Amino acid sequence: MFTHVTPYAGDPILGLMDKFANDDRTDIKVNLGVGVYYTEDGKLPVLECVKTAEAKIANPPRPRGYLPMDGLAGYKKACQELLFGKDTAVIKEGRVATIATLGGSGALKVGADFIHEWFPTAKCYVSDPTWGNHISIFEGAGLQVGKYPYYDPATIGVKFDEMCAFFETLNENDVVLLHPCCHNPTGVDLSREQWEVVLDIVKRKKLIPFMDIAYQGFGDDMDADAFAIRLAVEKGLTVFVSNSFSKNLSLYGERVGGLSVVAPTKAEADTVLGQLKFTVRRIYSSPPSHGNAVVDIVMNDEALFEQWVDEVYQMRDRIRDMRAKLQAALQQRLPERDFGYFTKQRGMFSFTGLTAAQVARLREEFAVYMVDNGRMCVAGLNNANVEYVANAIAEVLK
């Protein structure tokens, strides 16, 4: 019956989590693989604002009816205001179609299904490199996926001219998947001037920008991290935005995200919203209620919102501190090399430039886990392990 079914090779990042869990070197092992924020104590945090919201949900207990296909109204409003800014014209004009989704992944999937259905000849282009699941999700939705030049290991920056030249070769309605901030996996973002240039090309070539923002608040701040999204709207682009609350609310397992499509007119936005709902109906019918309720409560209460932003900035600052400490510790051990990139890169990740063989040595000899492509989740470092990790990296670099 199933003899024709081919085995699944497993996900490179999630597979690493299993390997880490099964590693019995519990006294020294360090998980810098998965993109998860851990506290200084190495724990997954429950944010204070979330605890308050959950206390409200629990007392009196809320009934768990089905949510609308597109999620709670207060949740959708929160997504829109975070992404596009409070009281912005595009929201007031009703030109944004937003749905709550199952994490950022769900937003990418619903968006990709919608594009495949209504722009059947569109191809999707992702940065080289990108988060691996971008490729799987768009291919899974039936689109052909290609890569555009992005990361330049020589400069630890962006191959900007090559990226622009590549965009010039694309066809109308081709999708370009962009990371507005905290690029995963490299931590290398476009500058504001570069966004201006890229988005002008996107507009002139009539490409579809699909902006995936999973780390809002971890780069510079909530507004600055949304710069590229707001610039795209300012330029009058029709833009898809997928957002995730997994990291900035530490609600990974609740699967909370959103998909917003900015349309040229309210009428088009309404039609798009209808089709997005139908897409949802055909896959999972409606989103889970708990995450929607938490976001609705936190984001629509001024004090809780402020508390949340503050908690995100604490996470951001701890990561920055770890970047600086790792950089200094490595610089001390290998003064002839330049580790300045650790503090230049933004967000949770750092592309270390370590080879797959060096990453394997880190894992086997030192129980330090990172992704084979050399991506390190800096949020897995803390004051208790940063020197150990620096030693281990220095050893494999010698």
Residues taking part in catalysis: 131, 212, 247
Q: Of 171, 150, 172, give the one whose Cα is nearest residue 160.
A: 150
* Binder among 71, 103, 217, 347 for ligand PMP (CB under 6 A): 103
Q: If binding is defined by CB under 6 A, does position 104 make contact with ligand PMP?
A: yes
- The smaller minimum CB distance to ligand PMP, of residues 33 and 103, is found at 103
* Binder among 115, 176, 214, 381 for ligand PMP (CB under 6 A): 214
- The smaller minimum CB distance to ligand PMP, of residues 177 and 272, is found at 177
Q: Which of the ranges 97-105, 202-210, 260-268, 323-331 carries the binding residues for ligand PMP, by CB under 6 A?
A: 97-105
User: Restricting to residues 112-141, which ones interact with ligand PMP according to CB under 6 A?
Assistant: 131
**Smallest separation (angstroms) from ligand PMP to the CB of 130:** 8
Total residues interacting with ligand PMP, rule: CB under 6 A: 11
**Smallest separation (angstroms) from ligand PMP to the CB of 246:** 4
Q: Which of the ranges 60-68, 103-111, 259-267, 331-339 carries the binding residues for ligand PMP, by CB under 6 A?
A: 103-111
* Binder among 30, 31, 32, 35 for ligand PMP (CB under 6 A): 35
- The smaller minimum CB distance to ligand PMP, of residues 187 and 390, is found at 187
Closest CB to ligand PMP: residue number:
103
Q: Of 260, 257, 266, 261, give the one whose Cα is nearest residue 284.
A: 257
Q: If binding is defined by CB under 6 A, does position 291 make contact with ligand PMP?
A: no
User: Restricting to residues 146-185, which ones interact with ligand PMP according to CB under 6 A?
Assistant: 184
**Smallest separation (angstroms) from ligand PMP to the CB of 102:** 7
User: Restricting to residues 228-247, which ones interact with ligand PMP according to CB under 6 A?
Assistant: 244, 246
Q: Is residue 84 a contact partner of residue 229, using CB atoms and an 8 Å limit?
A: yes
**Smallest separation (angstroms) from ligand PMP to the CB of 69:** 19
**Smallest separation (angstroms) from ligand PMP to the CB of 291:** 10
Residues at the interface with ligand PMP (CB under 6 A): 35, 103-105, 131, 184, 212, 214, 244, 246, 257
